[in-house]
Amino acid sequence: MSYARHFQRLTQLLARWQPLWRPLAFQHRRLPWAADYPELYQTLLALDDDAAARLEYDPLATEALAPWLPVAELRALVRLPEYPGRAAALPNTWADHIAGRKWRQLQAFVRCVPETPGPLLEWCAGKGHLARTLSRRDRREVVGLEWQPALCAQGQALAQRQGAAVRLVEQDVLVDAAARFLDADHHAVALHACGDLHVALLRHAVDKGFALTLAPCCYQRTAAAYYRPLSALGQRLAGDYAVELGREDLALAVQETVTAPPAVSRQRERANAWRLGFDLLQREVRGVDEYLSVPSLAYGKMPVDFAGFCRWAAEQKGLALPPGILAQSDWEAAGGARLKEVKRLELVRHAYRRPLEVWLLLDRLMFLQEAGFDVSLATFCPRELTPRNAVLRATPGVAG
């Protein structure tokens, strides 16, 4: 299947099943699609913990949802080829000051970056871990652009200590001035550049005609409230099939978190249960059976107990809690039970995580292909290392 046909078929399936994958289960006491798919609804609620965990890990891996959803076709459409060959084992000393999982991602990613004679630049470099690795591998200078001065200083110190020919430049890549660092003979690299940051790189590549190796991430981190496809084909398909994506929809593409440490997973579970417990509480207090959004709060700043969280959340929303309301019912236990229900109902939505991500990747690929680039899309590492394991490689086509 050509990339264009692949893109079109994914668009059709995403459009067809929007009523099931777009509603957020935690916002609804009863999901809007429950009446139309009662067997699916009850089947999900009846899942035991092990079955729910297996489906959460990979909703398309089994046929559990196949009686209601196009599981087999979605599974085929999200299957990307693996980048050929194995990642070369780089010296362990190069991993100094790089977290273990990040270092394994870097080793897998750098093999996708060809050794080229032209200048090499890392986009959104952070401390320049990727730039240093490429500089040492190819024995050449690599420039990195990073907007945070502290990261530039730390990364430059690491490069000097390790003898890597890296020059980190303080630069906001979202302003036009960033283009001055790139010309047609460059090769730009970016590992997990977020949202508008990697889109800016793609637009510069099309404008100036340089090669790139890119692993996108966090599509929802964008200034636009609604997603406008980059490619002409994407814009046409989105219009023809009425696919309009907001930030919450884009966030679905990156919700898979197989890499979270157990302690973080436990903190997330507790925070989500507390939020759902408060949601049940606020519906009763307000007399309105409607979800009320509460600001995010870092796990390290969470109140020490559920009652404290409810008081904090109520204060954020200007909601007065009646005296004794927290003691009238076990809202915390109700939140835990509600979380189990929500996690099962979200499995339908999660079946479309990877399809949506591949759709977004294909839009970027088509944008480059329409501009005359030779483009490939593959995975550079197993999803257990990072779910954001897709790499786009693009080279300007040869005229004539």
CATH value at residue 103: 3.40.50.150
Alpha-carbon span 357 to 363, nearest angstrom: 10
Cα gap 52→61, rounded to integer Å:
13
Region 289-300 average pLDDT? 89
Q: Which residue has the tokens 């197993």?
A: 382
With a cut of 90, say whether residue 373 has pLDDT above it.
yes
**pLDDT, tens digit (0-9, with 9 covering 90-100), for 316-360:** 999 999 999 998 889 999 999 999 999 999 999 999 999 999 999
pLDDT at 400 over 60: no
Residues 272, 229 share a domain: no
Is residue 266 in some structural domain? Answer: yes
Q: Is residue 75 part of a domain?
A: no
| 78 inside domain | no
3 occurs within a structural domain: no
**Confidence check: pLDDT of 121 > 50:** yes
Q: Any idea which residue has 């020059």 for tokens?
A: 167
What's the pLDDT at 89? 84
Task: Looking at the structure, tell me whether residues 105 and 245 fall in a common domain.
Answer: yes
pTM here is 0.94
Query: pLDDT at position 100, please?
Result: 87
For residue 138, CA distances in Å to 93, 114, 130, 169, 186 come to 16, 10, 12, 20, 15
Regarding whether 241 and 98 lie in a shared domain, the answer is yes
The verdict on residue 83 lying in a domain is no
What tokens does 91 get? Answer: 């010296």
- Residue 369 pLDDT level (bands cut at 50, 70, 90): very high
Higher pLDDT, 267 or 216: 216
56 and 118, same structural domain?
Answer: no
Residue given tokens 């080793």 in the structure block: 107
**Total domains present in the chain:** 2
**Domain carrying residue 124:** 92-252+353-396
pLDDT confidence tier of residue 173, bands split at 50, 70 and 90? very high
Task: State whether 332 and 392 are in the same domain.
Answer: no
224, 345: one domain: no
Asked whether 191 and 180 are in contact (CB, 8 A), the reply is: no
pLDDT at 355: 98
Residue 259 pLDDT class (50, 70, 90 cuts)? low
